[in-house]
C-alpha cells in the first residue's frame, strides 16, 4: 500500500488526483475517480466561460446554480464508496468574477450539507495569483490546492496559505506555463523551495512515473491526459482515439484562452500554432500577453476549434493533450487504471534495492 501525506490529509486511499480538464465536463470521470479511491475533480472552466449547457448536458442556470447541482450529483454518485472530490477553478484576472461565484457555490454547498462537507474537501485554483483568494478560501475550512509553474510561484502559495502546491510541468496538456520548464526540473525545484506538500503534474501516467514523483519528493501526482483516456471519461470518443494514435512528438503548443496551451496535433491545432507564430509570437519569446492585447484572430481560431470539438468534427476540433499521450495505449476503466498504477509503483519501489549497487 502506498500511503502519503496527501492520503492522510484528505482521507482517501491513493495519492492520485484526477485533473479537472476544461472547458469540458469531467463530471462522470470525477465520480469514477473518487469511487476508485483517488481525488475526483470537477472542471468548472466551462461554467466560467458561459458554456454551462454544454458541460451539463443541456441544463440551464447560472454557474453558481449549475455547480451546486453537479456537486449534489457527484455526492450521490459516490455515496456508497464515500469517495472524496473537489473542483478546479481558474482564477486569472479574466475569470475573477465567475471564479468568485464558483468558489462561493462550493463553500455554500459544504455549509448546507454535513455529508457534502465531509467529502467535498478540495478547491484547486489555477492560472492566476493565489494571494487575492486567501480571505475567501481559507476561512471556509476546505483544503486549498494551487497549480504553479515555478519555485517562485510556489513561495507565493505559501504566503497565501495554500495547503498543497501542484507543480505542473510544461509537458502537460492544455493550459501550460509561459516558460517551458518540465517536470523533471520543476518538481524537485518546488519541493526544495517550500515546506508545503507538493504534488507533481505533467507527464504522469503509470506506476513508474508515480514512483519517480515520490522519489523527487512529491506526496502524489495529478493526471489529466491519462484519465481522459478511460472508459468513464466524459470526453468524446474521437478525443480518446486521438490520444491512442499519438506518439510522444504528436503535440503542439499554441495560444490558448489563458496563455499557452498544449494540443494534440491535427489540422486545427497546427493552424492555431501557425497563427500564434504570426500573430502572438511573444508566446515563444517569453513575452506574455493577455486577452486585451492578443490578436483577435488567435482567440477566434481557438473558439472555432472548441465549437468544432463539441460538434464532433474530428478534423476541425481542438483537443488538448500532454506529451504523455505518446505513452498511452489503452482505454481501461478508471478503477483498472488506478489499481494498475499502484500495483506497478509498489513493485518498482520494492525492486529498487536489488538494482542499487552495494
Q: How far apart are CA 196 and CA 119, in angstroms?
A: 22
If asked whether residues 315 and 189 sit together in one domain, one would say no
State residue 328's pLDDT score: 96
If asked whether residues 259 and 122 sit together in one domain, one would say no
Give the residue from 235, 267, 300 where a domain finishes.
235
Q: How far apart are CA 211 and CA 225, in angstroms?
A: 18
Burial grade of 219 (CB within 10 A; 0-12, 13-18, 19 or more): buried
Residue 299 belongs to domain spanning: 238-323
332 assigned to some structural domain: no
Q: What is the pLDDT of residues 41-68, one digit of tens each?
A: 999 887 767 666 666 667 777 888 888 9
Q: How far apart are CA 95 and CA 133, in angstroms?
A: 13
Residues 6+ apart with CB under 8 A from 118: none
If asked whether residues 145 and 293 sit together in one domain, one would say no
Query: In this structure, how many other beta carbons lie within 10 angstroms of the beta carbon of residue 343?
Result: 12
> Given a cut of 70, is residue 11 above it in pLDDT?
yes
pTM for the whole structure:
0.94
Query: In this structure, how many other beta carbons lie within 10 angstroms of the beta carbon of residue 207?
Result: 18
| 3-class secondary-structure state, position 333 | coil
Provide the CATH number for the domain around residue 100.
3.20.20.70
SS3 content of the chain, % helix, strand, coil (to 5): 50, 15, 35
Give the residue from 210, 235, 260 where a domain finishes.
235
State residue 22's pLDDT score: 77
Q: Are 187 and 286 in contact (CB under 8 A)?
A: no
If asked whether residues 39 and 134 sit together in one domain, one would say yes
Q: Are 230 and 332 in contact (CB under 8 A)?
A: yes
If asked whether residues 173 and 299 sit together in one domain, one would say no
Strands 198-201, 164-168: parallel, antiparallel or unpaired by DSSP? parallel
State residue 294's pLDDT score: 84
Q: What is the pLDDT of residues 255-275, one digit of tens each?
A: 887 789 999 999 999 999 999
- Please tell me the total count of domains within the chain: 2
If asked whether residues 138 and 273 sit together in one domain, one would say no
DSSP conformational letter for 58: S
Q: Assign 349 a pLDDT band (cuts: 50, 70, 90).
A: very high
If asked whether residues 51 and 157 sit together in one domain, one would say yes
If asked whether residues 178 and 137 sit together in one domain, one would say yes
Burial grade of 134 (CB within 10 A; 0-12, 13-18, 19 or more): middle
Q: How far apart are CA 16 and CA 2, in angstroms?
A: 11
If asked whether residues 126 and 167 sit together in one domain, one would say yes
If asked whether residues 271 and 226 sit together in one domain, one would say no
Q: What is the pLDDT of residues 165-223, one digit of tens each?
A: 999 999 999 889 888 999 999 999 999 999 999 999 999 999 999 999 999 999 999 99
State residue 37's pLDDT score: 97
If asked whether residues 198 and 98 sit together in one domain, one would say yes
336 assigned to some structural domain: no
Amino acid at each position: 500500500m502506498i500511503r502519503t501525506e496527501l492520503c492522510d490529509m484528505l482521507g482517501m486511499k491513493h495519492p492520485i488526483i484526477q485533473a479537472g480538464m476544461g472547458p469540458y465536463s469531467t463530471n462522470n470521470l470525477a465520480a469514477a475517480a473518487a469511487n476508485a479511491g483517488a481525488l475526483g475533480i470537477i472542471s468548472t472552466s466551462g461554467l466560467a466561460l458561459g458554456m454551462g449547457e454544454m458541460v451539463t448536458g443541456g441544463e440551464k442556470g447560472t454557474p453558481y446554480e449549475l455547480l451546486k447541482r453537479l456537486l449534489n450529483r457527484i455526492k450521490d454518485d459516490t455515496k456508497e464508496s464515500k469517495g472524496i472530490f473537489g473542483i478546479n477553478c481558474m482564477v486569472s484576472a479574466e475569470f475573477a468574477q465567475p471564479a468568485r461565484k464558483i468558489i462561493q457555490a462550493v463553500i455554500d454547498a459544504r455549509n448546507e450539507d454535513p455529508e457534502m462537507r465531509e467529502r467535498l474537501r478540495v478547491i484547486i485554483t489555477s492560472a492566476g495569483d493565489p494571494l487575492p483568494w486567501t480571505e475567501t478560501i481559507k476561512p471556509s475550512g476546505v483544503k486549498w490546492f494551487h497549480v504553479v509553474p515555478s519555485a517562485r510561484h510556489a513561495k507565493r502559495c505559501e504566503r497565501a496559505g495554500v495547503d498543497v502546491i501542484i507543480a505542473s510541468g510544461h509537458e502537460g496538456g492544455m493550459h501550460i506555463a509561459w516558460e517551458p520548464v518540465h517536470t523533471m526540473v520543476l518538481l524537485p525545484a518546488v519541493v526544495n523551495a517550500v515546506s508545503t506538500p507538493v504534488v507533481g503534474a505533467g507527464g504522469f501516467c503509470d506506476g513508474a512515473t508515480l514512483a519517480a514523483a515520490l522519489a523527487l519528493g512529491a506526496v502524489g501526482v495529478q493526471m489529466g491526459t491519462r484519465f481522459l483516456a478511460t472508459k468513464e471519461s466524459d470526453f468524446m470518443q474521437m478525443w480518446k482515439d486521438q490520444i491512442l494514435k499519438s506518439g510522444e512528438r504528436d503535440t503542439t503548443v499554441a495560444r490558448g484562452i489563458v496563455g499557452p496551451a498544449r494540443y494534440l496535433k491535427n489540422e486545427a491545432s497546427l493552424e492555431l500554432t501557425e497563427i500564434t507564430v504570426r500573430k502572438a509570437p511573444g508566446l515563444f519569446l517569453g513575452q506574455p500577453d493577455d486577452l486585451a492585447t492578443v490578436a483577435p484572430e488567435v482567440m477566434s481560431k481557438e473558439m472555432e476549434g472548441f465549437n468544432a470539438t463539441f460538434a464532433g468534427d474530428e478534423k476541425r476540433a481542438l483537443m488538448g493533450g500532454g506529451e504523455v499521450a505518446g505513452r498511452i495505449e489503452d482505454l481501461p476503466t478508471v478503477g483498472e487504471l488506478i489499481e494498475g498504477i499502484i500495483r506497478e509503483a509498489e513493485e518498482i519501489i520494492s525492486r529498487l534495492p536489488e538494482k542499487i549497487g552495494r
